[in-house]
Amino acid sequence: MKDSILINGSWQSARRVMPIHDAYKGTVIAQVACATQEHAELAIESASKGFEKSKNLSSAQRYEILFATAKLLEQNQAEFADSIVCETGKTITAASKEVMRAVNTLMLCAEEAKRLNGETIPFDSYAGNENRIGYYDYQPLGTIVCITPFNDPLNLVAHKLGPAIATGNAVILKPAEQAPLTALMLVRALLKSGLPDCIVSVLTGYGAEFGDYLVSQPEVAMVSFTGSSVVGEKIAKAAGAKKLLMELGANSPVIVLEDADIDLAVESSVSGSFLASGHNCIGVQRVFIHEAVYDVFREKFVEQTKMLKVGDPHLIDTDVGPMVDDNQVSRVQTMVKQSIELGAKVLCGGEYKDKVYLPTVFDNPPLTAPVVAEEVFGPVVSLFSYNNLDSALELANLPDYGIHGAVFTSNIDRAFSVASALDVAGVMINDSTDFRLDAMPFGGSGRGSLGREGVYFAMREMCNTKVYCFNLCRSDI
């Protein structure tokens, strides 16, 4: 795996390598090459050649490549799932589901490759243009740099590579430093499925060493990034005047009304809080519960949280595995410690035990506590009691960025009302904030809202429209 840099269709090594650790065992499972600025220069040249190939593939050819890749993932589900578990600490159950979601994502890309339709334009709708007819279609941008996070190391890569290939672009992929192995497996599957050389290049290693150079080059038409707002802002400044597609995190709120199905609300929120050890940009972080049902909700929530089995993510009955690395553990520990110092009360968890940060629940913590005011991106959730819905909505909307929110109620009118008032890009009614269908538009609201992913929508982000207008100079009219 030391030959993990892909340029000009050739897997290459580098002078330096970096270790990739098993998130639970801590052992080194692979070493990957550390790309340099020189590699980035060569990757850009390679992508330029790849774009000439990619844009000339027929929609049928793109379909066949993406469909064949999806089938390879499906046939090798166990191998891909095991890689995800090792790299990220995600449980084998969750990892297996991620593989099948990636299969679906690539299938959607294959199908949409044949449905990238333009439309006719009624030029004669304005006086003087009666002899003009025309239409527009979608044209690929060129070279797209895709930078992916560690938390969904397969499906989030598929959400970038798939639409880019379906639209005839070339891609330079920079996978997450903590979890590049599964992304490399996906790229190899694409090549095995017939993707021509140079359409996809891969740069593994430390992004800080070549990232600014890579995204700033004029040959790069677009940067697609999923990750933290701090890194996103840095990339945006370095990239300059080019197209950006970014998802920069969230602090997901849930509103539980007094008429809600409490058992459903508890079960959905527990799952949404602790799935993938909280490494989830749309995971539940703040739950606002009406005071009439708060005590019941809190008791059941804590009870279910304590029942979660933590430990080895390879075991089928494990619910919560480790966080991806010690840096993430330290970051969450600091946030929890600072919140407790501000007066936050821990109902359960708050400890690092046997390589797992225990699922942690806070009871009405101060709004200034880091676990409330910032994105935790870990297995931590805060419960709040409210008696005025408008006040709860105001608190839910305090962060200036968001992706999903949720409301639990049995009243359809109130569901619509709360959904409308939540300042997020998607609202789940009687469901967890972490629900996502890979066909739906996905992105942020407020700060960090730069475009939309979701196959159909990402494909159009990765294109420009081109207009064709015919002036029919008819001498017989």
Active site residues: 247, 281
Fill in the DSSP letter of residue 310: B
- Do residues 381 and 365 lie in contact, with contact meaning Cβ atoms separated by under 8 Å? no
How many angstroms separate the CA atoms of 72 and 67, rounded? 9
**Measured between alpha carbons, how far is residue 241 from residues 66, 152, 424 in Å?**
31, 29, 27
In Å, what is the CA distance from 163 to each residue of 29, 214, 340, 438?
30, 21, 44, 12
Contact 326, 378 (CB under 8 A): no
Listing DSSP states for 280-294 in one string gives -TTSEEEEEEEHHHH
Cβ contact 87:178 at 8 Å: yes
Say if CB 172 and CB 145 are below 8 A apart. Answer: yes
Strands 243-247 and 220-226: parallel
| Distance separating alpha carbons of residues 377 and 244, to the nearest angstrom | 23
Alpha carbon distances (Å) from 237 to 145, 240, 339, 400: 15, 6, 32, 20
Beta partners for residue 143, in sequence order: 170, 220
Tallying the residues shown for the chain, one arrives at 477
In eight-state DSSP terms, residue 283 is S
Q: What is the largest CA-CA distance in the chain?
A: 86
Name, in order, each residue with C-beta under 8 angstroms of 346's C-beta and a sequence gap of 6 or more: 336, 340, 360, 361, 362, 363
3-state secondary structure of 235: helix
With tokens 């340099």, the residue in question is 36
